[in-house]
């Protein structure tokens, strides 16, 4: 019974990877770099994106957002108000809705993405620390936001999520003085599951660290080109 289940999951992930590669080909054809941004519910992904994409935008990098939610378009509406091209993708299928984006869902949204007009696409995944980490969507980079209100133990409890990301944004540091959160312990736990991973300490509310995250995001397309060049693509 368990063996059968595992095989089905493997098949599903194989199929997902095939579609993720097709997405990647489409993004590449348009020269669009894709960042898959993940977190638990309420960690502050949207507020952070408002901060880095609002005002003067992303250091001249034309950016769009694909907004993944179970239901509704609350976050998409917040970002669209900043005059950023935003596409909503809802995972609600009549039951509770899917708890993550997969490659096929992203594929279904591609005709609605302004790929000719942007250089960077930020995909705001569904708030969840488990399944979003399991499904590639054709992204160039995975990053996550973790709020200090969630506790120091989260890297140990959701290791795949923390291991799969190349950047962990530690958000809501303005609340540190009101919490029992031990930042050193969190970073120690993070290093245990993903040694040497990049981190940025941020308060999306107060503004600390927002510039560093903006620069990280803005540099992704350049890094992608540099990585692609030697391969002669």
Residue 162 binds a second copy (CB under 8 A): no
- Name the segment binding a second copy (CB under 8 A); options: 158-166, 194-202, 210-218, 219-227: 158-166
Task: Tell me if 67 sits within 8 A of 89, measured CB to CB.
Answer: yes
Stretch binding a second copy (CB under 8 A), from 14-22, 23-31, 56-64, 154-162 = 154-162
Task: Dihedral sign for Cα 117, 46, 209, 186, please.
Answer: negative
Total interface residues for a second copy by CB under 8 A: 48
Nearer to a second copy, 30 or 157 (CB): 157
How many other C-beta atoms can be found within 10 angstroms of the C-beta atom of residue 102?
21
Hey, which bits of 75-135 come out as E strands?
86-90, 120-124
Q: Does 50 bind a second copy (CB under 8 A)?
A: no
Distance CA 162, CA 189 (A): 10
DSSP conformation class of 195: T
**Gap between the Cα atoms of 190 and 218, Å rounded:** 25
Taking the complex as a whole, the smallest distance from the CB of residue 72 to a second copy amounts, in Å, to 6
Please identify, using beta-carbon distances, which residue of 31 and 72 lies nearer to a second copy: 72
Q: How far is the CB of 196 from a second copy (least distance, A)?
A: 21
Give the separation between CA 79 and CA 148, rounded to whole angstroms. Answer: 24
List contacts with a second copy (CB under 8 A): 2, 5-6, 9, 13, 40-42, 69-72, 74-75, 93-99, 126-131, 133-134, 147, 149-151, 153-154, 156-161, 172, 174-175, 178-180, 205
């Amino acid at each position: 019974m368990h063996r059968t289940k595992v095989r089905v999951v493997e098949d599903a992930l194989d199929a997902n990877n095939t579609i993720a590669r097709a997405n990647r080909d489409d993004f590449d054809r348009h020269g669009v770099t894709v960042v898959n941004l993940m977190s638990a519910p309420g960690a502050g992904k949207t507020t952070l994106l408002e901060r880095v994409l609002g005002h003067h935008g992303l250091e001249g990098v034309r950016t769009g957002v694909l907004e993944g939610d179970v239901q509704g378009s609350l976050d998409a509406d917040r970002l669209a108000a900043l005059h950023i091209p935003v596409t909503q993708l809802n995972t609600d299928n009549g039951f509770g809705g899917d708890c993550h984006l997969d490659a096929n869902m992203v594929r279904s949204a591609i005709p609605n993405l302004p790929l000719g007009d942007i250089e960077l696409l930020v995909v705001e995944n569904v708030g969840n620390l488990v399944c979003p980490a399991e499904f590639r969507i054709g992204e160039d980079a995975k990053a996550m936001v973790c709020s200090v209100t969630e506790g120091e133990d989260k890297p140990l409890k959701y290791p795949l999520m923390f291991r799969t990301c190349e950047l962990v944004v530690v958000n809501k540091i303005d609340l540190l003085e009101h919490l029992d959160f031990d930042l050193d312990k969190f970073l120690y736990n993070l290093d245990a599951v993903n040694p040497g991973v990049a981190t940025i300490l941020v308060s999306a509310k107060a503004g600390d660290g927002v510039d560093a995250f903006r620069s990280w995001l803005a540099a992704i397309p350049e890094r992608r080109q540099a990585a692609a060049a030697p391969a002669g693509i």
